[in-house]
Structure 1
Amino acid sequence: MILTRSLEKCILPCFDLIKSIVGEDKRVATFFRTSKWTVSAKSLRYVVSNVAFLRGLEVLDSTISVYLTWHPLMLCRKTECFKEDVNKVMSMGIEPSSSATFMKALVVAFMVDASKWEQKMQFYKEWGWTEDDFALAFRKHPLFMTFSEKNISSKMDFLLNKMGWQPADVAGDPYVLTYSLEKRIIPTCSVIRVLLLKGLITKGECSLVTILKKSEKYLLNKFVLKYQEQVPELLSIYQGKMVLQNSA
């Protein structure tokens, strides 16, 4: 595709324009690779207009550069369509001043059309979320909207039905839905549950949402190795070699 384009009329002007925004040759290369050279002279005019619009909203140039590099098609479309997505994101309470979250939300608005958006809302409502829960989750971590329903269902089932979380707990920190169920959520939750049941820690002592965000080294030292004498099977539970029964 690249070899069919005019060097003087297309490739060089495109290169110069994109480099003026993203700043580095390697980012220009990534832009064209991720856009698959579907960029036309018209779409480049949209890029200029859309970037100017974002700058007018005081989105950081560094953030614009990253998203133009990795999500070029989002910024290569008609400005009126782009502005509709911006208004949609802002109507949900995400301000341009939170540059990274704002741009993530724009990516989601670009990827998820109106019918899929409604479908996603209905899916989460079936797990007990209210519209306010949905809006809160979107403000906290917009990318949760791109996860498959099958992937999310297994995590929601474990957190709500086995760990006793409330739907609002997940909505308050939807980032937990990004973790692997088998590798992070089940082992960590199982260890904490054992320690709670045995009275080695108390509920008020630690937030499970916060613990899930910690590194594996922290989890091992703070909650597994520390209590291994009192609970010898703890490491096996954490490693998934032993399943914690409901009656434990």
Structure 2
Amino acid sequence: MQNPVNPLFFEVFQGNGKRASQSLADSLPKFGEYPAIFGFSGSRLALNKSVSLLFSNAQLGILPSHSIFAIRSFSSSTSSNLNGHSFIVSYLINSCGLTLKSAQSVSKNRNIRFQTRERPDSVLRLLREHGFTNSQISKIVKSRPEVLLAQLEKTLLPKLEFLRSIGVSRPGLSIIVSRNPDLLACSLKHCLIPSYEILKSVLVSDEKVVRTLNHMGNRSFYSLQKRFSNNSSLLRGLGISQSFISYLVTQSPSVMCQEVGKFAEGVKKVMKLGFDPSKLRIVEAVRVFHLMSHKTWEHKMQVYRRWGFSEDEIWLIFRKCPTCMAMSEKKIMATMDFLVCKMSWQPAAVARVPVILCLSLEKRVMPRCSVVRVLLSKGLIKADIHLSSVLQPSEKLFLERSVIKYQEHVPQLLDIYQRKMGLTELGFAFDDKFKISGLKNV
């Protein structure tokens, strides 16, 4: 039986070739929208001209018969591809929660060609049965869309069961996997299990391995297998203990996944600054160097310079507390503003005890300084109080020394410390005019 001919072709032979060619061109998708369909690039104008020329030749009787069938076949396959493409985009939006833009981007992945809902529906059902939320599923599909076509019994379920077997809780399973969809995409035998064994060899306990998996970024497993051994060997060669390496791996596993040459360069910089391999600070410094680009480092230096710190003082801060260089500008500025402008400690005093910059301003620094403010105003303590003695002691020790000891004189002191009462209710306030004279800057 002969296939029906597109009605537009009849118009060609009835003398309406120009209009028909334009209509057919308009019925086709624009170039750039579906480049894989056409197999070549060009403008819509070029298509119009090509179709017009084709129909002009037909009017002159010089169009080969096979060309008409080629066009008809081309139009048919285009329609089929467009429908398939549209189905995938629609599925990603309606079933997986992706935005139109994300769905269009993901649909270009050649590994997720499907024309029915059966396989992807079964994958989504399995994930939901294991506690994955819609937002977590969207994140996984966006990062690793090929998971939608994975085989349940052979591929997905064994990986989920393996993670549960090493101690990942049911709620933790969805969190870990959504943070690192590679867990579902990589091979259980050749990637996931070897990575687990590498981590277990350093961390010893499954509990620490699970904690580390929580911190691992996507795409980390492949580099972990390639680089971990060399990077850990370098640290051990410098006399850094296994417990310190374990701490580094747990806190920032991506550090150990760095390219070997780059990792060695960062470690070399740290050693040149005089860090002691027998102290935990050395791996904290390695971690900070890994997390920060040269541009970001220079910016942080400038932030500290705004408070009058010299170059030597900034390096002193880093050597004493490497984490201080990794804090946000907002956190540094807020804490320094409070300590220097509200409490009138000198920047040099902060440089001597830089760890206080890492303390919570709202939960620790301000409540303790509020107590000090009241005690000084009441004349219950001397004005030469040390910065370190206020902020460094444990909560229990601070309560004993600075709150409970003076509650008979100031019954509201515990409420002030616990922020149940504000300083204004006692007639005090932190403002730019208030200065505690005589505070010892050591």
Give the TM interval when normalised to the shorter protein.
Answer: 0.7 to 0.9
1:26, 1:232 → 2: CA distance?
A: 45
Distance 1:56 1:225, change over 3 A: same
Corresponding residue for 2:392?
Answer: 213
Moved over 4 A (4+): 40-43
1:220, 1:195 → 2: CA distance?
A: 13
Of the structure 1 ranges 130-139 and 28-37, higher mean CA displacement relative to structure 2 is found in 28-37
1:58, 1:19 → 2: CA distance?
A: 21
Contact 1:191–1:237 under 8 Å retained in 2: yes
Distance 1:129 1:190, change over 3 A: same
Q: One-letter code of the match for 2:376? A: L
2:296 paired residue among 104, 107, 116: 116
Which has the higher relative contact order, 1 or 2, with Cα contacts under 8 A spaced 6 or more apart? 1
Is the aligned partner of 1:28 residue 2:209? yes
Is the aligned partner of 1:135 residue 2:315? yes
Q: One-letter code of the match for 1:227? A: Y
Q: Which consecutive residues of structure 1, in runs of 5 or more, have no partner in the other structure?
A: none
Q: What TM-score results when the alignment is normalised by the length of structure 2? A: 0.51
Corresponding residue for 1:228?
Answer: 407
Corresponding residue for 2:38?
Answer: none
Distance 1:12 1:195, change over 3 A: closer
Contact 1:189–1:208 under 8 Å retained in 2: no
Contact 2:194–2:225 under 8 Å retained in 1: no
Is the aligned partner of 1:188 residue 2:368? yes
2:225 paired residue among 21, 39, 44: 44
1:160 paired residue among 322, 340, 343: 340
Contact 1:236–1:242 under 8 Å retained in 2: no
Q: Which consecutive residues of structure 2, in runs of 5 or more, have no partner in the other structure?
A: 1-181, 437-442
Tell me the CA shift for residue 59 of structure 1: 0.7
1:40, 1:16 → 2: CA distance?
A: 12
Distance 1:228 1:247, change over 3 A: farther
1:9, 1:66 → 2: CA distance?
A: 26
Greater C-alpha Rg: 2
How far does the alpha carbon of each residue in 1:151-184 deviate from its partner, in whole angstroms, 9 at most, with x for none? 2212111111121111111111111112232332
Is the aligned partner of 1:4 residue 2:4? no
Matching of residues 232-243 of structure 1 within 5 Å: 232-238=411-417, 239=419, 240-243=421-424
Q: CA RMSD in A?
A: 2.4
Of the structure 1 ranges 61-70 and 153-162, higher mean CA displacement relative to structure 2 is found in 61-70
Q: What TM-score results when the alignment is normalised by the length of structure 1? A: 0.87
Is the aligned partner of 1:126 residue 2:306? yes
1:149 paired residue among 321, 325, 329: 329
